[in-house]
Structure 1
Amino acid sequence: MLPFAAETLLSIFGQYNRGIWPLHGVAALMVLVALALALVGGRGAGRVVGLLLGVLWVWIGVAFIGGALAEFHFWASRLAGVFVAQGLMLVFALTLLARHGFGWPGGLAGTVAVLVMAYAMVGHVLLEVLLLGTPWAQAQYVGVVPGPTMLFTLGILLLAQPRPALILAIIPFLWALVTAYIAWELGLWLEYVPAALGVIAFVLLLVRWLYPGERRLFRSDA
């Protein structure tokens, strides 16, 4: 059971957004650069993508979960460590080891990747404001809060070539499940959307590991 109500969570987002402004713009620029490099492809692009995503995850762990959320949730310090660990794994696997390049795969993987990243970048914010009447100051922006960043990361991993280490997607997947729990516990029905998209993206990543006919399933040029 969560130790706060939906109104409190929105208030946390609002205080946090006001406190870090205008870093939203910096995070948005980092997200756009990561997306552009992932679509262009190449192993060198993968190094930069890993670094950008890693910085965003570490920032969210330290500033949002370990900072803004800390006084409202007794597990905040542990959760902050999990987010920092995810950021370090992304930097290690994509930037330091540089075993993965990126590129547009076409097919199902490419379609889902674009869908989840578009929703993470602009879709969720617009639905919050237009459907729920959430003030812009209390909305969730990619790169600075967990939900949209989780979704964007899974979308980026769908563009990785060859298939990425599945461990890179475990924490984002778990946060998708946490998002579903938050939606149920607090009655925030819109949060089911990023949760569902995150699970779908993870399932596709999992299938890439388990299904021998990956190329036929995921690539339009196969």
Structure 2
Amino acid sequence: MTVTEWWTYGLSDFLMFSPQVYWRLVARHNAAWWPWQALALAAALALPVLLRARRPGAQRAALAVAALAWAWLGWAFHWRLYSEIFLAAPSVALACGLQALLLAAAAGLPLRSREGAAPGPLGAILLAAALLYPLLAPLTGHPWSEAEVFGFMPEPTALATLGVLAGVRAWPAWSRWLLSVIPGASLLLGAATRWLIAQ
């Protein structure tokens, strides 16, 4: 192969799987754990309620739910399944585990008196996007078996987590930004993957 032949390649040529393989993997993942997705959706619905609650510890509970979602996502999707077709998936699974530990540790920290604060516009939008994310499947021509649900797939989990972090305003802003790094990177990775498999 000559050097000039490299110019004929696009980024999608270096992707390790086809769109069909990826979506079959998502369908397998959903089928393996059905109907637990309903419980995950219920947990996602509880997040804005917890953020608005006046009870002490409600925001900590929201952080704990997000921590459990990242731990499950890392093991059930990235580690045991996505690693079949994506070499970096084990590393992503470890990042998910780190995010779960950070959120769990944050849930144990004392909050500075602003329990029960509303999530605010940005937090509300992010939480709504996470809840509505499964609807993208039929809207983009995919069957319900390929729907992406909070706790089971990266994008809705990252969106919900960012929504929670926007709502937990009892901490300094820097700590919330720190906890947003892995969810933000997850969204960027997901967007890049979607763009590549669409080429």
Query: What TM-score results when the alignment is normalised by the length of structure 1?
Result: 0.76
What's the counterpart of residue 111 of structure 2?
99
**Paired residues for 1:180-199 under 5 Å:** 180-187=191-198
Per the TM alignment, residue 41 of structure 1 is displaced from its structure 2 partner at its CA by 5.0
CA distance in 2, matches of 1:43, 1:171: 27
Query: Whose relative contact order is higher, 1 or 2, with alpha carbons under 8 Å and at least 6 apart?
Result: 2
Instruction: List gaps (5 residues or longer) in structure 2.
Output: 1-13
Q: Percent identity?
A: 28
Assess, with a 3 A threshold, how the Cα gap between structure 1 residues 102 and 61 changes in structure 2: closer, same or farther. farther
CA distance in 1, matches of 2:105, 2:167: 18
What's the counterpart of residue 134 of structure 2?
125
Assess, with a 3 A threshold, how the Cα gap between structure 1 residues 36 and 75 changes in structure 2: closer, same or farther. same
**Paired residues for 1:16-55 under 5 Å:** 16-41=29-54, 43-55=56-68
Q: Structure 1 residue 4 and structure 2 residue 17: aligned? A: yes
Match of 1:138 among 142, 146, 149: 146
CA distance in 2, matches of 1:145, 1:118: 16
Instruction: List gaps (5 residues or longer) in structure 1.
Output: 189-222
What's the counterpart of residue 5 of structure 2?
none
What's the counterpart of residue 159 of structure 1?
167
CA distance in 2, matches of 1:87, 1:2: 28
Q: Deviations over 1:133-154 (max 9, x none)?
A: 2100111112211111101111
Match of 1:72 among 76, 85, 90: 85
Task: Give the letter for the 1:99 counterpart.
Answer: L
Higher mean alpha-carbon deviation, 28-37 vs 12-21, is at 28-37
Contact 1:43/1:99 (8 A) holds in 2: no
Contact 2:50/2:59 (8 A) holds in 1: yes
Per the TM alignment, residue 2 of structure 1 is displaced from its structure 2 partner at its CA by 2.6
Q: Deviations over 1:30-82 (max 9, x none)?
A: 22222211122565112211211101100000000001111111112111110
Q: Output the aligned Cα RMSD.
A: 1.8
Higher mean alpha-carbon deviation, 157-166 vs 1-10, is at 157-166
Asked which structure has the greater CA Rg, the reply is 2
CA distance in 1, matches of 2:104, 2:56: 14
Q: Structure 1 residue 111 and structure 2 residue 121: aligned? A: yes
**Aligned residue pair count:** 181
Contact 1:120/1:151 (8 A) holds in 2: yes
